[in-house]
């Protein structure tokens, strides 16, 4: 299992080493090893309670595993110096599922917050950077003084993304980026993420339940079930694995449609939109006994 999920450590932007998470009698992660490779979009999927959000928080240094190590950019978040962790935080951005924006702050102030907190920049430069980031996500400067309550769900996600990109991160975390968006807005947000990832050469870790988002964006998918990563590989490879969670996940109408779309893309010799050079697939490992 570990061989499938790990790779040459020099390639890994994030590395989980023999990670265990235990809450009282409940084992959530059992000896998980994983490498997130530079430049890839890795999606985490799994049933409710399988430990996706916990793993994301561990990668952000917000929570420590019971055992094992979490390395980001080669630095341990567990045994490393807290000052180093603060510096590392400037190298990643996060779009949280809930509370994408501070409701009491304007659009401008939301995007300016990380710049004010972490860099000694003058107001003129902050202004220019905020407008630049808003343009990058397709939000016109005239919206900058609006409050979040006056915005649509799609705009809030875009501005949340602008804020996540404020410090020009190399690594981006997306927690359910398209949850709550209607299909059109969801599709245009997926396209935006693909474009930005390509422009900035980002490494992305995403948690999503949404099949269309998963298929459009993922270079690799890691499936969390039975306290482990039971499969890791391209969407095509994952979809053909035999684990029960995977079968259920892809069995519904949306799953079938998403898989048909991949087949069509394969027949046309292309790759999903926004994924120009999918990371080479390592291999796939199905859980024993399923
Ligand atoms: N601080 C905690 N104390 C005790 N149990 C916890 C704690 N954090 C998480 N858990 C438990 O760990 C398990 C994994 O939780 P987690 O939130 O990571 O799941 P998830 O895969 O993100 O689920 P969902 O898809 O519903 O968001 C759950 O059973 C949850 O109740
Ligand atoms: Mg969760």
Largest CA distance in the chain: 61
Distance from the first to the final alpha carbon of the chain: 15
**pLDDT tens per residue, range 10-20:** 689 999 999 99
The span from the CA of 272 to the CA of 219, in Å, is 9
Q: Is 65 in the pocket of ligand 1 (CB under 6 A)?
A: no
Q: Is 18 left (phi over 0), alpha (psi -120 to 50) or beta?
A: left
Mean pLDDT of all residues in 120-135: 93
Residue nearest to atom 7 of ligand 1 (CA): 23
Mean pLDDT of all residues in 53-64: 95
| pLDDT computed for residue 290 by the predictor | 33
47 CA to centre of ligand 1 in angstroms: 11
pTM above 0.75, yes or no: yes
Residue of 20, 21, 22, 23 to test ligand 1 pocket, by largest number of atoms within 8 Å of CB:
23
Q: Is the pLDDT of residue 133 over 90?
A: yes
CB 231 within 8 A of CB 243: yes
Helices and strands (H, E) in the chain, number of each type: 11, 10
**pLDDT tens per residue, range 70-80:** 999 999 999 99
Lowest mean pLDDT among 170-174, 214-218, 219-223, 265-269: 265-269
**pLDDT tens per residue, range 155-212:** 999 999 999 999 999 999 999 999 989 999 999 999 999 999 999 999 999 999 899 9
| pLDDT computed for residue 226 by the predictor | 96
Ligand 2 (single-atom ion) residues, CB below 5 Å: 53
207 CA to centre of ligand 2 in angstroms: 8
- Per DSSP, what are the bridge partners of residue 207? 44, 175
The span from the CA of 238 to the CA of 159, in Å, is 32
């Amino acid at each position: 299992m570990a061989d499938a999920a790990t790779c040459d450590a020099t390639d890994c932007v994030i590395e989980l080493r023999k990670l265990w998470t235990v809450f009282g009698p409940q084992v959530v992660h059992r000896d998980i090893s994983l490498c997130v490779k530079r430049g890839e979009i890795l999606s985490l999927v799994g049933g409710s309670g399988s430990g996706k959000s916990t793993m994301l928080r561990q990668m952000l240094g917000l929570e420590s595993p019971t055992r094992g190590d979490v390395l980001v950019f080669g630095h341990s978040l567990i045994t490393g110096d807290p000052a180093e962790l603060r510096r590392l935080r400037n190298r990643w951005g996060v779009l949280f599922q809930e509370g994408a924006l501070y409701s009491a702050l304007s659009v401008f102030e939301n995007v300016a917050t990380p710049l004010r907190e972490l860099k000694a920049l003058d107001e003129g430069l902050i202004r220019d950077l905020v407008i630049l980031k808003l343009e990058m996500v397709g939000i016109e400067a005239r919206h900058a003084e609006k409050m979040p309550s006056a915005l649509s769900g799609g705009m809030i996600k875009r501005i949340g993304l602008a804020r996540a990109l404020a410090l020009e991160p190399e690594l981006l975390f997306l927690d359910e980026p398209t949850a709550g968006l209607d299909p059109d807005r969801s599709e245009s947000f997926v396209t935006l993420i693909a474009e930005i990832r390509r422009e900035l050469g980002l490494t992305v870790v995403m948690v999503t339940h949404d099949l269309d988002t998963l298929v459009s964006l993922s270079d690799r998918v890691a499936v969390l079930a039975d306290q482990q990563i039971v499969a890791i590989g391209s969407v095509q490879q994952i979809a053909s694995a035999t684990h029960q969670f995977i079968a259920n996940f892809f069995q519904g109408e949306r799953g079938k449609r998403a898989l048909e779309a991949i087949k069509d893309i394969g027949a046309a010799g292309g790759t999903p939109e926004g994924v120009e050079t999918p990371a080479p697939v390592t291999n796939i490992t199905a859980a024993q006994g399923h």
